[in-house]
Amino acid sequence: MPSSPAVTLTGGVAGHFTGGRDANPVVGTPISVKPIANENELQTAIRKVQSSVVEVKVNLGYGGSQGSGVIMANSGLIVTNNHVIDGATGKVEVITAAAEGTPAEIVAKSPSEDLAVLRPDTPAGPGVALSDDTAGPPSSGTSVFAIGSPFGLQNTVTAGVVSAYRNDNGMPLIQFDAPVNPGNSGGGLFDLAGAMVGVPTSIRSPVEGNVGIAFAVPASRVRAILATVK
């Protein structure tokens, strides 16, 4: 199967998108990531947001792609990555956490920030709130968890911490160490309050798998693209 496309990340680092085209199985030795200390707090946060994360499928049966998306509170719009829906012919298909499908229209795209917004034909589930990052992004060491559909395995949860905050030629990125893989793209990166802090977009790895260096578009950029949708 073809490998996922390469992308240039901060500092000119070669990486791979965490979604889109089919990818080869993970090779090499996976790293171990320390669990978040407060297990009950983590489980409560997961239950709060898990039903808001969907799977996004594009051009099924025609060399299409697969990724994830997150339903936004109040509007019911779905945020995903632009590279997940890039090349879509017409509407895409959204698979809810309850395994129900609904078509969705692409209503906004920002290729430079790798974000896109979908409007489902029917409600896709409850929505989540964006974190209030007006005072700045989450600091290094903040506990976070990711939910998405890596390799089509819907509702997969991984946990870790924010590693750093990067800037790639004016494009802000949250670096984190929760394992994500192809199919996580467009899913959510959440804090322990259940607020979405970012959208996983890419990983840095010498192989077609995760080695603990991942990047997410922060909530501030998600908020900005949502504001453009009428």
Report whether 93 contacts 100 (CB < 8 A): no
CA distance 215 to 193: 20
Catalytic option among 4, 52, 65, 114: 114
Residue 180: which residues within 8 A CB-CB, separation 6 or more? 18, 146, 148, 150, 158, 187, 200, 203, 210, 214
Which letter does DSSP use for residue 38 in this model?
-
Which letter does DSSP use for residue 227 in this model?
T
Strand residues in 59-136 grouped as ranges (E): 65-71, 78-80, 92-95, 101-110, 115-120
Report whether 71 contacts 98 (CB < 8 A): no
Q: How remote is the C-alpha of 7 from its chain's centroid?
A: 16
Decide: helix, strand or coil at residue 100: coil
Tokens found for residue 116: 């896109």
Is 83 catalytic? The answer is yes
Tokens found for residue 195: 């607020």
Radius of gyration of the chain (CA): 16
Catalytic option among 83, 149, 163, 191: 83
Report whether 162 contacts 175 (CB < 8 A): yes
Catalytic option among 185, 191, 202, 205: 185
Residues serving a catalytic function are 83, 114, 185
